[in-house]
């Protein structure tokens, strides 16, 4: 009775140990070693069933041969998996582990060499090559809560107290089966969690690559930033002096950082490509400079027709009229090429250039067709903000019309002063303003205030998206990590205007990684990749302006993370030498 009680307690202790272990390899090792000990077996093997219905060797142990493979041993098992089904799709009932997996029954063989039910030729070859003799074999299927076989536990050569090899007894078999039942549930749960994490990682990677695929301007960004983030974070963890001496991350916190880094730009899925990729001032889905050019063409035709009418009517001197026409056409050409140059954008647009755009815009041409025929429902609604003109009508060569204004048509989270996220972002009155004069007079670059807000809004959308996900407690900081890389130490960043004291170390690391990757990226078609020295110099200015964390920037340089990243991702021509010391004071 006391022996039964001891066995019962042993199974309870094993069950507790199995339920507490999170590492799948360690869990499988515990299952096999505990089964070997209960059965007093010399050897044992644990097989896991794959999606392809094969049984893969996960762990092998044979004490007398000192064989320890798989699990935490560090020794790879090179034996091919056991096929549960033959080439003709018939069940493989000749091999004992496949038969146990297929039937779901425990198979207890007292002497493998005497068995005619199964093919032990492979076992005999192993024995011959290793001076071993397999006798008793206990093969137990591992069934989960749905009675599905997820693996097989096999024990070899039960031993009597004196070391003699004996059969696995009828008293031992139920204990091994009870252990197998406990083990199957624990292992199935561990494998399910592992599968869920793999699925989550795959979805995260899919999302990040989808964001990169949207625009040629950010290709690879969502993959490189996590890599650099982990490198700098690891440097902080390894630091033995300075402000990061006590900094460290648990395994769960590392996974939290991994998810946050990979999803840091997931909100970009809401940003239209024609805004992210806006190369010229008039570009939307197409570059509207072509539409403007046709108006100039029409204007030239109109001026030519007026000249021809005057010549035919005998009004004025033909030579003088021709000279006047040629002068007018040259002026129109010059005005168009000026407008086309303005369309390209630049570092600065002087006031006199803005005045010239507005002067050219006041020139009129004649429209004879309705501008409301064949347009989309949404555009028609915008055009109905003002009465339709009677045809033919005079129209400005360039204009800022009411239908150019596109209003916000959905909730703008950052526009709500009481938003639950703590956003502090100035929101433009309208969603977009497509006005031609308005866009051509952009002082720097090609983006309007509305478009710049839309691009910056990706971080707001990132936070909103991630906050809506039911992250478990150990991942609850993912939105904060992913959403903080545009904040600045002095509190002038976005979207929450956090100060350095309000930001976590991972969020500040992300900010450095995001900037450095953007400066050194080699796959941005709109700019040449910057050299290492130039990128570090720019980042030093950002540190001086209290945009980036100075201690992390120092660590970034002193630890050599910048150099390690450069060797992996930068072109050889970008990697130049510079004096680190000049940036450390």
Using one digit for the tens of pLDDT, what is the confidence trace for 58-70?
A: 999 999 999 999 9
211-247 pLDDT, tens digit per residue, is: 877 776 666 788 899 999 999 999 999 999 889 999 9
What stretch of H or E contains 305? helix 289-313
The backbone region for 265, taken as left when phi is positive above 0, alpha when psi lies in -120 to 50, beta otherwise, is alpha
Give me the pLDDT at residue 1, please: 42
Q: 413-438 as b/e, with b when 16 or more CB fall inside 10 Å? A: bbeeeebebebebebbeebbbbbbbb
Q: Give the Cα separation of 403 and 493 in Å (integer).
A: 33
Dist. CA 342–CA 336, nearest whole Å: 10
Peptide bond into 495 cis (omega under 30): yes
Note the pLDDT of residue 107: 95
Domains of the chain: 2-194 (3.30.450.40), 215-278+447-584 (1.10.3210.10), 289-406 (no CATH)
* Residue 185 in tokens: 């549930």
**Residue 547's pLDDT band (boundaries 50, 70, 90)?**
very high
DSSP string over 389-449: PPSSEEEESS---GGGEE---S--GGG-TT-TT-------SSSEE--HHHHHT-SSSS--H
**447, pLDDT greater than 80:** yes
Q: Bridge partners of 159?
A: 165
pLDDT (average), residues 493-521 = 93
Residue 135 tokens, joined = 């006798």
Residue 146 three-state SS: coil
Measured at the alpha carbon of residue 227, what is the angle toward residues 222 and 228, in degrees to the nearest 5? 100
Mean pLDDT of 329-337: 97
- Strand, coil or helix: 54: strand
pLDDT at 526: 58
Mean pLDDT (the chain, rounded): 90
Given its phi and psi angles, is residue 348 left (phi above 0), alpha (psi -120 to 50 degrees) or beta?
beta
C-alpha 376/C-alpha 453 separation (Å) is: 26
**C-alpha torsion sign, points 89, 93, 98, 99:** positive
> Does the structure show a pLDDT above 50 at 51?
yes
Give residue for tokens 């093997």.
45
What ranges in 115-250 are assigned the alpha helix state H? 121-130, 172-214, 221-238
Per-residue confidence (pLDDT) for residue 408, from 0 to 100: 87
What's the pLDDT at 386? Answer: 93
What is the distance, to the nearest Å, from the Cα of residue 168 to the centroid of all Cα atoms in its chain? 52
Q: DSSP E strands: which ranges in 293-404?
A: 364-367, 393-396
- Residue 369 has which token pair? 């067709």
Span 433-453, average pLDDT? 95
């Amino acid at each position: 009775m006391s022996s039964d009680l001891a066995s019962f307690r042993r199974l309870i202790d094993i069950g507790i140990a199995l339920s507490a272990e999170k590492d799948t390899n360690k869990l499988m090792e515990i299952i096999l070693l505990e089964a070997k000990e209960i059965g007093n077996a010399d050897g044992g093997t644990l097989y896991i069933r794959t999606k392809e219905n094969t049984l893969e060797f996960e762990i092998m142990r044979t004490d007398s041969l000192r064989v320890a493979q798989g699990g935490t041993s560090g020794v790879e098992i090179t034996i091919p998996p056991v096929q549960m089904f033959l080439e003709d799709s018939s069940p493989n009932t000749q091999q004992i582990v496949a038969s146990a997996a297929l039937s779901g029954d425990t198979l207890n063989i007292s002497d493998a060499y005497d068995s005619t039910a199964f093919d032990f030729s492979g076992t005999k070859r192993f024995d011959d090559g290793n001076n071993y003799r397999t006798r008793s074999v206990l093969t137990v299927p591992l069934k989960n809560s749905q009675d599905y076989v997820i693996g097989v536990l096999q024990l070899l050569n039960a031993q009597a107290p004196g070391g003699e090899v004996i059969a696995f007894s009828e008293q031992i078999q139920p204990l091994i089966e009870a252990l197998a039942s406990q083990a199957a549930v624990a292992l199935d749960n561990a494998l399910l969690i592992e599968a869920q994490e793999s699925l989550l990682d795959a979805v995260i990677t899919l999302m990040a690559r989808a964001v990169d695929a949207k625009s040629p301007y950010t290709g690879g960004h969502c993959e490189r930033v996590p890599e650099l983030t982990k490198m700098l974070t690891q440097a902080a963890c390894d630091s033995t002096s300075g402000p990061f001496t006590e900094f460290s991350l648990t395994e769960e916190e590392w996974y939290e950082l991994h998810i946050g880094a990979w999803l840091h730009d997931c909100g970009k899925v809401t940003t239209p490509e024609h805004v992210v990729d806006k190369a010229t001032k008039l570009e939307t889905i197409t570059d509207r400079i072509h539409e403007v050019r046709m108006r100039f063409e029409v204007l030239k035709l109109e001026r030519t027709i007026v000249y021809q009418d005057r010549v035919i009517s005998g009004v004025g001197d033909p030579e003088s009229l021709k000279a006047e026409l040629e002068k007018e056409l040259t002026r129109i050409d010059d005005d168009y090429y000026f407008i086309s140059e303005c369309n390209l954008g630049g570092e600065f647009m002087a006031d006199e250039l803005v005045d010239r755009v507005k002067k050219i815009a006041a020139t009129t041409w004649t429209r004879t067709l309705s501008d409301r025929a064949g347009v989309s429902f949404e555009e028609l609604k915008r055009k109905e903000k003002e009465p339709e003109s009677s045809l033919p009508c005079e129209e400005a060569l360039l204009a800022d019309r009411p239908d150019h204004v596109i209003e916000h048509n959905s909730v703008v989270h950052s526009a709500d002063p009481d938003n639950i996220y703590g956003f502090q972002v100035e929101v433009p009155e309208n969603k977009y303003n497509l006005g031609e004069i308005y866009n051509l007079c952009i002082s720097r670059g090609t983006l309007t205030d509305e478009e710049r807000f839309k691009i910056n809004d990706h971080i707001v959308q990132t936070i909103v998206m991630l906050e809506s996900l039911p992250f478990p407690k150990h991942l609850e900081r993912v939105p904060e990590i992913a959403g903080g890389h545009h904040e600045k130490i002095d509190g002038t960043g976005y979207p929450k205007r956090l100060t350095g004291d309000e930001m976590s170390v991972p969020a500040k690391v992300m900010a450095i990684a995001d900037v450095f990757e953007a400066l050194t990226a080699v796959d941005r078609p709109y700019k040449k990749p910057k050299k290492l020295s130039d990128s570090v110099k720019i980042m030093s200015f950002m540190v001086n302006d209290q945009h980036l964390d100075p201690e992390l920037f120092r660590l970034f340089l002193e630890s050599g993370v910048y150099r390690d990243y450069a060797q992996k991702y930068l072109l050889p021509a970008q990697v130049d030498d510079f004096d680190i010391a000049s940036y450390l004071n």
